[in-house]
Structure 1
């Protein structure tokens, strides 16, 4: 629902998501050595990383040094140049073997201390035809996402823990990721820069947990749907109509997660509407469950219902309703994955008229050829009955693509896409055509 514009590409370095290492000085229980002084490689103390032996890292061959051993040993440098061969040690610690496409990515920042990790990525893309989605600026190389995050992931294996995360993004995807639920320039809404480029803070939350229960409070991404805003976590460069038009991107509120067992997790919480900052834009429930039906099949149900948008100043008033996403994730074989998703959205204004009525089915088939290459296809049927584009449209999209990793920090995603509309195509495809063929490709650089 927003347009995008080209600006200068930010410089990037390799790396993402270094391992979250527990600072052994953060808790009294961690002040003891991970192993006995004899370096017999016994069981580590709860919460203490078995990163090296004491007093030196090379006393016993069975103790492999890793990045962070300077904390456990009390030395100033990693023993035996352990950081040079450990993924996630950071560029300054040495690249090591992380360039291999099957290895973990290198990290520019990694663990900056106290369990906090810093990372990000840059996504550059080009596509030949406009779509009413994130890819709305054709025939131009653009910076979609210049992304930076800082996170302290919680670890409740030894009791209570507290953490959080903040994300920042700049690029042509920035305006689409802002808190545009209320168009009043609050929070990050209105942080536009040169037309289609803009900034956003899509996440800023704290998280607390104890045992199998955790609670997230603040501004965070939705749990609804298969596709997400962050480019590295999607198989395809382009997005589905369902994701863009019928699902929230972000929420502000509180969300609890309880891991009932290894196969069952449930969510439940309260949010102030859809895609809004820290202000009243609704009252809605957000929740669902993930169920491991078999070793190869997982079912995910996520829903939100209540008051979605206040729509201040509009004649219709607030929008209230119900939507859900039902997903079946099937491991057909070791290399073949099939995903079926069905979304339903039904909402109305305060005056009783229909606000949005949509139904969508997305199907994904992805095959991993090797550590560096995977191929996939996505087919979508999006039934926009009312409130999205023109009333009573059936929109179809077939996308085929490749994921290729020439380096552990670089991903290339070329794709071919065919869209066609059964109904009034005005405002849906470029030039209001009823069908459209396009090529797109992006590059993601992790750091």
Structure 2
């Protein structure tokens, strides 16, 4: 039976933490009045074409972002950070299709705010954060400059994007970290209309991260997800990344599971090439519903602050699933695509 987190108890904890955070932040500002402001961000655009059986396909992959054919805009991203002593704020604004999809369009300020949070560095080993922040679950992130592949995985597309709540980060040692969080339910970034809340955490050990998330039934009635994210430097030029996740929704008897590998090889100071190989399966009523294998080969050429990413992608579903249409309008279970993306960061 699904366990519901006590609403009054969780709300009181959150409000008490917020009051404590605000009070001590004022005290910290009185002790250290040094301040600094920084602005960073990125802009990305791409060209994409899909093809099947000698002609252009008429549908896109069922993953997030970069699904437009022809020339298209990703998003403009502006991140402002203000820090005074041990406290500070971060406001992350997004404009464009990628940002709108990541914030669900009608979310806070019509999809403009990606992140907005305040933090307090209580000590060298402890940081408290309150506000809206991107998820700790998964290998990939919303901003394309931080991903090796330009298109995103099925695991990322089906996980949460952001959370609204409070979290505490602890550096237990130089190589071990712990994060604990209480937030609104799954992708509920304005208010918790369901009256329930979510809890989660992350344990990091020598660059390997075990992530967990549970809520008592928000807009999607999620339930539980556990996720492993990590990788290893095989050599100075060869990195092997790994992501695996399992999701279970007891309310709807559905979920997903899958794994992805990210071998990446750096050939020079300006060029690297990497492959994402992914197997993903959604479940419904306890049975596999949409098994899919996706292979994405991406090159990354860097010139100063500009990154050019040519990418070839092949998505192949099980024989019982034909979500794509070929150039003749006929259903098919696979799709090939090519994209060339340009990302400028500052």
Which TM bucket (shorter chain)? 0.7 to 0.9
> Which of structure 1's runs of 4+ aligned residues deviate more than 3 A?
26-30, 135-138, 426-432
**Are 2:299 and 1:402 equivalent residues in the alignment?**
yes
Cα deviations across residues 31-82 of structure 1 (Å, max 9, x unaligned)? xxxxxxxxxxxxxxxxxxxxxxxxxxxxxxxxxxxxxxxxxxxxxxxxxxxx
Alignment correspondent of 1:325: 227
Residue number in structure 2 paired with 1:123: 44
Counterpart check, 1:375 vs 2:300 = no
Q: TM-score normalised to the size of structure 1?
A: 0.63
Residues 194-219 of structure 1 show CA distances to partners (whole Å, capped at 9, x for unaligned) of xxxxx431101001112210011001
Q: Is 1:127–1:135's contact at 8 Å kept on the other side of the alignment?
A: no
SS at match of 2:173: coil
Match of 1:338 in 2: 240
Find the partner of 2:197 among 255, 279, 283: 283
- Aligned residue number for residue 310 of structure 2: 414
| Residue matched to 1:146 | 76
- Does the aligned pair in 2 maintain the 1:382–1:395 contact within 8 Å? yes
Separation (CA, whole Å) in 1 of partners of 2:246 and 2:182: 20
1:114 positional shift: 2.8
- State the alpha-carbon separation in 2 of the partners of residues 446 and 332 from structure 1: 28
Match of 1:441 among 315, 340, 346: 340
How far apart are residue 308 of structure 1 and its match?
Answer: 4.8
More helix by proportion, 1 or 2?
2
Contact kept? 2:281, 2:292, Cα under 8 Å: yes
Whole-angstrom CA distance in 1 between matches of 2:149 and 2:113? 23
Distance in 2 (alpha carbons) for counterparts of 1:325 and 1:244: 14
TM-score for the superposition, normalised by structure 2: 0.81
Question: Which is greater in Rg?
Answer: 1
Offset of residue 29 of structure 1: 8.3
Which residue is equivalent to 1:8?
none
* Aligned match of 2:8: none
Q: How does 1:42-441 map to 2 (within 5 A)?
A: 114-129=35-50, 130-135=60-65, 137-152=67-82, 161-179=86-104, 185-188=106-109, 191=110, 199-211=111-123, 212-245=125-158, 247-281=159-193, 282-292=196-206, 298-310=207-219, 319-349=221-251, 353-354=252-253, 356-386=254-284, 392-406=289-303, 408-427=304-323, 432-441=331-340
Whole-angstrom distance in 1 between the partners of 2:128 and 2:300: 34
How much has 1:135 moved relative to structure 2?
A: 3.9
Per-residue deviation at 1:276? 2.3
The structure where strand makes up a greater share of residues is 2
Structure number with the bigger relative contact order (C-alpha 8 A, sep ≥ 6) is: 2
2: CA distance between counterparts of 1:279 and 1:139? 35
